[in-house]
């Protein structure tokens, strides 16, 4: 039986990534590179047309199906080298005419590094990207649905100013799309190499290969060559790609943290769907733990630490040693964790409705929480209105030191506290007379002081939709 476990914790095994990073599939893209090299040698007449006939589609498929565990066995028992182990197995499959051409004129990391880039490109384009597209589509719907739903904003854990739930969601959506765009950009900039043992094309130059041999091979794989390489690819392009994936994971983690806090019993503005048969606690049957939102943030923490490995191997001795070889085998964990985050949000219930779509905003709880601070949350427009109406002293100090204590003690709105104080202070009374009527009306209606929250929410929803629409139909 094939070993298809993904790198990382066995608990997290998104099936969408198995064909790319499942253990026994790890040499598939490696085989693709080697096969395209031989085909290019055939195109150039280095391998005869008659000999190349032995590389039938069936033979090529057998080569691509070589399991990593088979390579491991030959490596342990004979070669003590993984690539030469793969070469030996391939030579037995491909037959005597082509056996001598396997891995010519390559060094190990021509194939290994290029294959790794192919894995990440394919995993992103065929698994992560479609999931992201579905996630963002649903999120756009949530932003639009709650664009006008009143919510109290929070800064430093304290009630701040009124916004809308859609505006809060839009701040998350904007970050998701921003990082998605970077992933897409850096994926397009990933490169391969067919440049030999030190990157200087020694074998190709000395043996009269055409100068564009690398480009010919990589074009068959849908890649461009690095501008220059050593025995390995320059690490920056992949690091930027994986960093962007990590940043996207953080955006999802932010959503998880926000929702987890908004689900607190005493807040209750967000509800996570609880399915029939689901258990919230091993001992307290009444509980509804926000497990999916907690996992969103947990996966970000895992990815943050996984990315440290990427940074650890940015440098190497003379730009090549084997210290980074074992470490780089863990790089796919970042995509595994990211896919897990997306899958948790897109997991469908028995009615085929994704989890994300089933998240609800409790408008009654939003209103209740808003009312807790409604009498004092207009401190900002009040002090600014006083200043603009000609108050010559520090209006912020007046509101902070005098009006807020009055409003709190008497349980009245700040504007009412201002009126009380104006009865005692002629200067304040004169300033109040200069405040426009529409501003007075606003100061009596804290629920209307949401600024451009609804407008910005819908703007971000359109921005995200336009990004999705920019993809080619084939994508």
Please name which of 474, 378, 421 lies closest in space to residue 130, comparing C-alpha atoms: 474
- CATH (domain of 330): 1.20.200.10
Do 128 and 231 share a domain, yes or no? yes
Of 106, 132, 160, the residue at which a domain comes to its end is 106
Number of C-alpha atoms within 13 angstroms, CB side, residue 23?
14
Tally of domains within the chain: 3
Query: Which pLDDT belongs to residue 279?
Result: 64
- CATH (domain of 61): 1.10.275.10
Do 269 and 346 share a domain, yes or no? yes
Q: Does a structural domain hold residue 9?
A: no
Number of C-alpha atoms within 13 angstroms, CB side, residue 79?
15
Of 106, 135, 167, the residue at which a domain comes to its end is 106
Of 53, 72, 106, the residue at which a domain comes to its end is 106
Q: Does a structural domain hold residue 211?
A: no
Do 66 and 157 share a domain, yes or no? no
- Which residues in 100-131 are b (16+ Cβ under 10 Å) and which e? ebbbebbbbbbbbbbbbbbbbbbbbeebbbeb
Q: Does a structural domain hold residue 32?
A: yes
Query: Which pLDDT belongs to residue 472?
Result: 67
Do 388 and 347 share a domain, yes or no? no
Do 179 and 230 share a domain, yes or no? yes
Query: Which pLDDT belongs to residue 281?
Result: 64
- What is the chain's mean pLDDT, rounded? 94
Contacts of 76 (CB under 8 A, 6+ apart): none
Structural domain range at position 442: 378-448
Do 231 and 301 share a domain, yes or no? yes
pLDDT tens for 10-56 read 999 999 999 999 999 999 999 999 999 999 999 999 999 999 999 99
pLDDT cut 90: percent of the chain above it:
91
Do 175 and 324 share a domain, yes or no? yes
Q: In the 8-state DSSP scheme, what is residue 79? A: I
pLDDT tens for 90-148 read 999 999 999 999 999 999 999 999 999 999 999 999 999 999 999 999 999 999 999 99
Q: Does a structural domain hold residue 267?
A: yes
pLDDT tens for 367-376 read 999 999 999 9
pTM of the model: 0.94
Q: CA-CA distance, 193 to 201, in Å (whole number)?
A: 10
pLDDT tens for 318-370 read 867 788 899 999 999 999 999 999 999 999 999 999 999 999 999 999 999 99
Q: CA-CA distance, 167 to 455, in Å (whole number)?
A: 8
Do 71 and 156 share a domain, yes or no? no
Q: Please give the average per-residue pLDDT across 72-91, as a whole number.
A: 97
Would the pLDDT of 287 be above 90?
no
Q: Does a structural domain hold residue 7?
A: no
Q: Please give the average per-residue pLDDT across 150-173, as a whole number.
A: 97
Q: CA-CA distance, 380 to 372, in Å (whole number)?
A: 17
> Among positive and negative, which fits the CA dihedral 139, 15, 127, 6?
positive
pLDDT tens for 262-284 read 999 999 999 877 766 666 666 77
pLDDT tens for 419-465 read 999 998 899 999 999 999 999 999 999 999 999 999 999 999 999 99
Do 148 and 239 share a domain, yes or no? yes
Contact (CB, 8 A) for 26 and 82: no
> Among positive and negative, which fits the CA dihedral 258, 133, 363, 408?
positive
Do 176 and 299 share a domain, yes or no? yes
């Amino acid at each position: 039986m094939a070993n298809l476990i993904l790198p990382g914790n066995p608990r997290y095994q998104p099936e969408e990534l198995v064909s790319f990073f499942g253990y026994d599939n790890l040499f598939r893209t490696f085989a693709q590179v080697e096969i395209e090299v031989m085909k290019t040698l055939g195109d150039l007449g280095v391998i005869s047309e008659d000999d190349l006939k032995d590389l039938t589609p069936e033979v090529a498929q057998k080569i691509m199906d070589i399991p990593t565990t088979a390579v491991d066995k030959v490596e342990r028992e004979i070669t003590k080298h993984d690539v030469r182990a793969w070469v030996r197995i391939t030579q037995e499959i491909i037959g005597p005419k082509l056996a001598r051409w396997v891995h010519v004129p390559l060094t190990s990391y021509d194939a290994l590094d290029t294959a790794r880039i192919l894995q990440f490109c394919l995993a992103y384009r065929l698994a992560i990207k479609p999931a992201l597209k579905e996630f963002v589509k649903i999120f756009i719907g949530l932003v639009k649905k709650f664009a006008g739903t009143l919510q109290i904003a929070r800064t430093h854990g304290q009630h701040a100013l009124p916004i809308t739930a859609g505006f809060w969601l839009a701040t998350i959506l904007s970050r998701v799309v921003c990082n998605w765009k970077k992933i897409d950009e850096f994926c397009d900039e990933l490169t391969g190499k067919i440049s030999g043992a030190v990157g200087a094309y020694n074998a190709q130059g000395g043996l009269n290969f055409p100068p564009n041999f690398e480009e010919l091979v990589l074009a068959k794989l849908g890649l461009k060559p690095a501008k220059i390489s050593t025995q390995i690819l320059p690490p920056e392009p992949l690091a930027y790609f994986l960093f962007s994936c990590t940043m996207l994971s953080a955006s999802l983690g932010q959503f998880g943290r926000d929702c987890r806090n908004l689900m607190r019993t005493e807040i209750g503005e967000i509800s996570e769907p609880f399915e029939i048969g689901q258990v919230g606690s091993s001992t307290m049957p009444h509980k509804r733990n926000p497990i999916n939102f907690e996992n969103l943030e947990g996966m970000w923490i895992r990815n943050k630490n996984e990315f440290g490995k990427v940074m650890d191997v940015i440098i190497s001795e003379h730009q090549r040693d084997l210290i980074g070889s074992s470490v780089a085998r863990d790089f796919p964990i970042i995509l595994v964790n990211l896919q897990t985050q997306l899958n948790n949000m897109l997991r469908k219930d028995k009615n085929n409705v994704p989890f994300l779509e089933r998240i609800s905003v409790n408008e009654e709880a939003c209103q209740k929480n808003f009312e807790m601070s409604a009498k004092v949350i207009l401190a900002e427009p009040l002090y600014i209105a006083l200043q603009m109406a000609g108050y010559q002293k520090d209006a912020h100090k007046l509101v902070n030191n005098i009006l807020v204590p009055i409003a709190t003690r008497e349980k009245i709105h700040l504007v009412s506290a201002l009126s009380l104080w104006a009865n005692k202070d002629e200067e304040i009374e004169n300033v109040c007379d200069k405040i426009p009527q529409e501003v007075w009306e606003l100061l009596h209606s804290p629920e209307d002081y949401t600024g451009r929250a609804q407008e910005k929410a819908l703007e971000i929803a359109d921005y995200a939709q336009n990004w999705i629409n920019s993809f080619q139909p084939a994508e």
